[in-house]
Structure 1
Amino acid sequence: MNILTRQSHSDNLQLTLQQFNLPDANISLWPNWLTEPFSYNLQQQLVSQLSWAQDSIIMFGKPVKIPRQQVWMGDSHCRYRYSGTTFIPQPWHPAVRQLADNLSQFLQQPFNCVLLNLYADGQHHMGWHADNEPELGHDPVIASVSLGAARRFELKHRTQPWQLTLDLPSGSLLLMTGQCQRHWLHRLPKQSRINHCRLNLTFRYIEAVS
């Protein structure tokens, strides 16, 4: 792991960058990409203003409610299909659109859609998966912003005995690039002692089909 620091141009905070040396993946983490007050206010705004839904996915041929609430948001062409369900994007919320623009400028990477997941407490979770749907293209760039309760995030290599566990605090930015979605799985496990809400936004890019 390499740890670097640099000065933020926007808020004069010292941003810490942690880079992890992994086979078949590039993983970077900025634990304090957003300030605590901004993270708190943004979380409160989005939790109260978005149309959250506990969607169903197909497992073993049957619809199953996911153990969290979510919103799929983005440009109008950004339809997204996983686990047998097609998701139509909700229009951009102004605060999320601004966050996407800031993220694109910071990373020099375009983003035009985002999956927002709301975890009420530590019983809400997400199982092992990769963000490798065809719509996302070859070796997609996934940028994940966390708000609220700090949660444990786990990754494991598909074919080698490599694993990585990270704590994602409120305001953190996690970036997964390279061949990560081809060779690694990730999850947000249950944590019974967590009794506060966590909101996660994973920004992606989907090409418009002419």
Structure 2
Amino acid sequence: MHFQSTLFASDATTPAPLRPDRTWLSSGTEHQSAAWVDVQRGWLGDPDGVFATMAEEVPWHAERRQMYERLVHVPRLLHTYGIGATLPHPALTEAMSALNEHYLPELGEPFVTAGCCFYRDGQDSVAWHGDTVGRGRTHDTMIAIVSLGDPRRLALRPREGVVPADGVGGSLSLTLGHGDLVVMGGSCQRTWEHAVPKQAQAGPRISVQFRARNVF
């Protein structure tokens, strides 16, 4: 495993003030709320320390999942910190507190879990999907993702029949770098899909996904 840390990262665990840039993905309708995505670059405190701690200390595991008639390997390593669990680095605890302070009035409930993915190289990936297991199937929610390590592309596309907002076009592509934050909200999980595609060359990357209760 090799990751070139940044020369400019701070070792302070407190994240930068939250002032994300919001992009509206699609407008709301009579029966469906609008979808949006927030982005703030370089937000997480001590990204080098968080990456190093998580790479070494998180109890990563591989999974296999049913895909039609066969079991396939999930192309990344996984671990989830459930409700009340101690997060592996104080900067992540600070991040969850800051996210709750900022988004609680809009979300209506706190982020309480942290799902973690370890992309070992460019062949690890996530296929197109929406986080619609649990309450996300029928209710608006938010997924707040902190990215650590090598840059990787987060691709978003509307589901069939969804009309993208003006200026978005048929899809959106975000390259997430070391310490960047992205938050998907509104009806995004039900009306849009997202993926982390494979790429020819990439070093290790870790993502931390903060979610509300019973959202998967």
TM-score, normalized by length of structure 2?
0.76
SS of the residue corresponding to residue 101 of structure 1 reads helix
Q: Deviations over 1:115-169 (max 9, x none)?
A: 1000011111110000111244611211011011111110000124720001111
**Structure 2 contact 116–206 (Cα < 8 Å) conserved:** yes
Please tell me whether the aligned partners of residues 152 and 165 of structure 1 are also in contact (alpha carbons under 8 angstroms). Answer: yes
2:86 to 87, 92, 96: 92
Distance in 2, matches of 1:26 and 1:135, equals 18
Contact 2:130 2:194 in 1 (8 A): yes
Structure 1 CA distance for aligned equivalents of residues 49 and 15 of structure 2: 19
Q: Does the C-alpha gap of structure 1 residues 202 and 48 become closer, same or farther in structure 2, counting only changes over 3 Å?
A: same
Greater relative contact order, per chain length (Cα 8 Å cut-off, separation 6+): 2
Residue 78 (structure 2) aligns with: 70
Q: Which has the higher strand share?
A: 1
Counterpart residue number, 2:43: 33
Which of residues 97, 102, 110 in structure 2 aligns to 1:101? 97
**What residue number does 1:187 align with?**
195
Aligned to 2:117: 117
Q: Quick one: distance in 2 between partners of 1:106 and 1:17? A: 10
Aligned to 1:152: 153
Instruction: Specify whether residues 14 and 49 from structure 1 end up closer, same or farther in structure 2 by C-alpha distance, changes over 3 A only.
Output: closer
Q: Which runs of 5+ in 1 are unaligned?
A: 1-9, 77-90
| Secondary structure in 2 matching 1:124 | coil
Are residues 1:60 and 2:63 paired?
A: no
In the alignment, which residue of structure 2 is the partner of 1:202? Answer: 209
2:21 aligned partner, one-letter code = Q
Identical columns (%) = 29
Deviation at 1:62, TM superposition (A): 2.4
Asked if the contact 2:115–2:210 (Cα under 8 Å) also holds between the matched residues in 1, the reply is yes
Give the root-mean-square deviation of aligned CA atoms. 2.4
Partners of 2:14 and 2:76 in 1: CA distance: 33
Partner residue, 1:18: 21
Q: CA–CA distance in 1 between the matches of 2:176 and 2:71?
A: 30
Match of 1:178 among 178, 186, 189: 186
Give structure 1 regions of 4+ aligned residues with deviation exceeding 6 angstroms: none
Count of aligned pairs: 182
Q: Please give the alpha-carbon distance, in whole angstroms, between the structure 1 residues aligned to 2:18 and 2:145.
A: 16
- Give 1:173 shift: 0.8
- Decide whether the 8 Å contact of 2:140 with 2:185 is kept in 1: yes
**Cα distance in 2 for residues equivalent to 1:27 and 1:73:** 24
Check 1:68–1:12 CA distance in 2 against 1; reply closer, same or farther (3 A cut): closer
Pick closer, same or farther for the CA change 1:92–1:12 going to 2, 3 Å. Answer: closer
Unaligned regions of 5+ residues in structure 2, if any? 1-12, 27-33, 163-168
Query: Residue 193 of structure 1: CA displacement?
Result: 1.8
After superposing the two structures, state which structure 1 stretch, 61-70 or 173-182, moved more: 61-70
- TM-score, normalised to structure 1's length? 0.78
Per-residue deviation at 1:93?
2.7
Q: Which residue of 2 aligns with 1:86?
A: none
